[in-house]
Structure 1
Amino acid sequence: MGDEARAQEGAVATSAPPQPREPHADRQARALAFSEWQAGFRTRALGEGIRPEIFDSVMTGVTPSSRVRELDGAQPEFVRPVWQYLDSAVSETRVANGRSAYSRLRPTLTAIEERYGTDAQIVTAVWGLETAYGSVRGDFPVAQSLATLAHDGRRRDWAERELIGAMRIVQDGDVRAGSLVGSWAGAMGHTQFMPTSYHRFAQDFDGDGQRNIWSEDPTDALASTAHYLAENGWTPGQPWGIEVRLPDSFDWLLSDRSQTHPASFWTQAGVTTFDGGQLPDHGPARLLAPVGAGGPAFLTYENFEVIKTYNNSTSYALAIGLLGDRIEGRTGVRATWPRDRLPLSRSDSRELQERLTAMGYDTQGADGRIGPNTERAIRQFQVDRGLTPDGTATDRLLALVRQG
């Protein structure tokens, strides 16, 4: 969790174009600056209780990684449509591999579910989406990755905290320094724990005296994920969400995702199960319509928000829920995605926010990320223009806003 590049089946989604070779003088200056940072960091780490010999065992031979710098700087400008993301995240291959893994590890997964109360198929889905069931766990030296991120300074406090956490893992005897490998951002093991999350949530489920998330055996990693979700509020027996059908007359002003309502509220609004039946009562729910009117709609429960604590992305949480459903044998999304509708790039989203605010529809900032404030501004614009107020940012909406 917390990794900034998710593994995709068939390829690792961390590729970046080759960079020009750094001039020799620049490399020398950077190496000097790194040694100065490392000297200061050593003092801070020892002040946090890291023993000198542990620091040296972890940091000996560590130099900045140009590859990590490239990946950290490769922030995507274009956003994939949710259906493209789900096509990969919940592919038939990933579903089939998940069912195979679920069947193979059923006794272990059942025991984990009984101890922590977290649904086994959701834990399996996290494993599948994070590392393709352990097949793509990352081979970056964690110390080098985190030291590079700390030295570059953009996220120094965070990276130093995680690097000290990695040193504590070695100091506690959980793993040797040379075995600390993971993603380019420092996430480790079958389910991609950052070091500080490892300390808080990792479990020794197999009883061998070690919380081993790096082993070929995924038992401890799966139990650690179940524990993480449980500690973050997982409600046993509650689904993540259900696909629903909205009436033609649905009031889209009710789709504010910051609001939850009981099943009776949604029933009164005309919402039914996808087959037209009465809504089950699983507690307060939010309406999630990832692409607005004309696309699939879901009611999501509190467990959906718990999944987002693992990765604060609506698309990620939706993928985990749907993959878990498919692994358990249920159907996937039944409504049709409007594949001719395109999401906005980051720069287009910033332009939309700036134009809406200038027109009097305040988005509370222009950061290129469409959140609740921007959605409310879009809805008000849509209401004033006689459009369906679904609050969704698309290329078509931006074209209308540009017209003034």
Structure 2
Amino acid sequence: MVRRNEFLAALKAGARTALVTTALAAVSGSASAQSGGGPLNFLDGLFTGTLTKGDPGASTPAQTPSTGGPQPWSGEDGASGHPLMTAAAIREAAGNFDACVAGMWPDAARRNITQDNFQRFTAGLSPDLRIMDLLDAQPEFTKSIWDYLDILVSDARMAKGREVLAKYKAQFDATERAYGVDRYIVAAIWGIESNYSTQIGDRSVLQSTATLACIGRRQAYFKDEFLSALEILNRGDLRPEQLRGSWAGAFGPTQFMPTAFKRFAVDADGDGRRDVVDNPADLIASTANNLKKDGWQSGQSWGYEVVLPQGFNFMLADRAKTMSFGQWEQLGLRRPNGQPFPASAEKAYLLAPAGAQGPGFLMLQNFRVIMKYNPAEAYALAIGHFADRLRGGPPFVQAWPREERTLSRAERLELQQLLAERGFYRGTPDGQFGGQTREALRNFQASIGAPADGFATSDVLERLRAR
């Protein structure tokens, strides 16, 4: 939930999505790799078009889920090649861990943390070096967007979501009145982030953020998170045993980073504490406050499924290219159920996550707000669709191209290398797809007369190999 620039947005995505990664792995039985804002992120590289490390504005790879019990650090250099991620640098920093933590006392004092609390909450802290492997994990396995949606927007999760909406109706009512944020979106975030509080994470937030503040390549960022976690405890909002979550410090059923907690957490029931872990009123209101402050528009949808006409120019499927509903209709876009678009001058952009073979979506301001919560299109689409289903809406009407095979990391790397050899891609091939790769792929597709949808398939790879 940290939003300062694209880099920090990527960081926050990781912080939340590490838990989603683990949850998906548990359901599907397949390994994933992890994201850049702590759960630094499985959504990266999840499906073609998701922002990932290697392209500007992208997240880093997602965490590989644990296979049972704490795992030791590998003792190997990090895959990023960063000088602070060499095994020698990690060992040296770990040896200086106690001094590093103690050295943060002046900064803690400036935040009005008492010396007694600083000593009490930092006593006995030790580095969790396994986090270094997770910080630099390289994704190998990916899921298609339709598999991702199948897992997260499931009948079981929807049933649980409706139970939660009914059980906490009074809290959702109060939150909607106070913040104007749709209850179904808040319930969807709760369900997808932690499967309704059943998968929150079990690492100590203090230990994780202290480790990352003193060791590795993101120390400045995580120093702020560590000190913010100490502020939370010093103020008495939460107890140390409640501050447990992902390896990057995200905690609670809707996954707040400590700095995000400071900005968005509210005391909804007036008990003097902002408890986003065990108090449903505070949890619901704080999540809604986050969305409101990020620009949520009351009474508006996140977007609409659309049918694209034959011969559509997919170069228009770009987040930077917005048009009014009327302009999109003039280009032949229609809603699949025959309903009209709302009479609104608000502009939308077109997302075609499965290219010409799958459904399209016109995305509004509230979709962008969801992406501020987690900057991955797959995540935001899952949240929006799950919210609609909780509201009683239907599944997506159009079929996904389920016959398409997801490219392996080796194939994705080869595709980038071939695009680079042919002058379409100017980045460093790394097997992870983001906006730069998608643009290069579109330009290649246009050059051979294929729909320039930026969707990487085995057929596109074969066409590249043949040229």
Q: Fold conserved (TM > 0.5)?
A: yes
How far apart are 1:193 and its partner, in Å?
A: 0.5
1:144 aligns with 2:194: no
Contact 1:9 1:132 survives alignment (8 Å): no
Deviation string 1:85-127 (CA, Å, 9 cap, x unpaired) is 1111101111111111112222211210111011100000000
Structure 1 residue 337, shift from structure 2 partner: 1.2
Structure 2 residue 288 is matched with structure 1 residue 238: no
- Are the aligned partners of 2:73 and 2:131 in contact in 1 as well (CA < 8 Å)? no
CA distance in 1, matches of 2:314, 2:338: 19
Distance 1:178 1:247, change over 3 A: closer
Tell me the SS of whatever aligns to 1:293: helix
Shift of 1:178: 4.1
- Which amino acid is 1:274 matched to? P
Pair 1:63-2:76 in alignment: no
Aligned pair partner of 2:439 in 376, 379, 382? 376
User: Does residue 65 of structure 2 align to residue 15 of structure 1?
Assistant: yes
SS at match of 1:285: strand
Q: Deviations over 1:268-307 (max 9, x none)?
A: 1100111234333442111111110111211111100100
Change (3 A) 1:403 1:33: farther
Q: Please, which of 380, 383, 398 is the counterpart of residue 320 of structure 1?
A: 383
Percentage of identical aligned residues: 41
C-alpha contact (below 8 Å) 2:19/2:199 kept by paired residues: no
* 2:272 is the alignment partner of 1:222: no
Matched, 1:169 2:232: yes
1:226, 1:92 → 2: CA distance?
Answer: 24
Give the one of 243, 252, 259 matched to 1:180: 243
Partner SS for 2:397 = coil
Letter paired with 1:113: E
- Aligned residue type for 2:19: R
Deviations 1:183-224 (A, max 9, x none): 222111121101100000001111111111121x32101110
Letter in 2 for 1:197: A
How much does 1:66 deviate?
4.0
**Hey, what does 2:81 align to over in structure 1?**
none
More relative contact order, 1 or 2 (CA 8 Å, 6+ apart): 2
For 1:5, give the aligned amino acid: A
When structure 1 is superposed on structure 2, of 308-317 and 128-137 the one drifting more is 128-137
Provide structure 2 residue ranges, at least 5 long, that are not aligned to the other structure. Answer: 2-11, 33-63, 77-87
Post-superposition Cα deviations, 1:295-352, rounded to whole Å, max 9, x if no partner, equal 1211111100100111111000000001101111101222111122234445544443
Q: Secondary structure at the match of 1:287?
A: strand
Q: Which amino acid aligns with 1:175?
A: L
In the other structure, the counterpart of 1:122 is 185
Please tell me the root mean square deviation across aligned C-alpha atoms, in Å. 2.6
Q: Do 1:130 and 1:190's aligned partners in 2 also have CA atoms closer than 8 Å?
A: yes
**TM-score w.r.t. length of structure 2:** 0.79
CA contact (8 A) 2:206 2:243 kept: yes
Q: Are 1:261 and 2:274 an aligned pair?
A: no
Q: Is the 8 A contact 1:258 1:372 kept in 2?
A: no
Bigger Rg, structure 1 or 2: 1
Which amino acid is 2:351 matched to?
A: L
Does 2:19 align with 1:6?
A: yes
Instruction: Tell me how far apart the structure 2 counterparts of residues 358 and 138 of structure 1 sit (CA, whole Å).
Output: 43
> How far apart, CA to CA, are the structure 2 residues paired with 1:272 and 1:60?
61
Following superposition, the deviation at residue 43 of structure 1 comes to 4.2
Equivalent position of 2:368 in the other structure? 305
- In 1, distance between residues paired with 2:91 and 2:256? 34
Q: Which moved more, 1:8-17 or 1:30-39?
A: 8-17
Alignment of 1:27-46 (within 5 A): 32-46=95-109
Aligned AA (1:245): V
2:97 partner amino acid: F
TM alignment of 1:198-213, pairs within 5 A: 198-213=261-276
User: What TM-score do you get using the length of structure 1 for normalisation?
Assistant: 0.91
Matched letter for residue 243 of structure 1: E
Q: How does 1:50-89 map to 2 (within 5 A)?
A: 50-89=113-152
Q: Secondary structure at the match of 2:304?
A: strand
Change in 2 beyond 3 A, CA 1:187/1:342: same
User: What pairs with 1:338-377 in structure 2 (closer than 5 Å)?
Assistant: 338-346=401-409, 348-366=411-429, 368-377=431-440
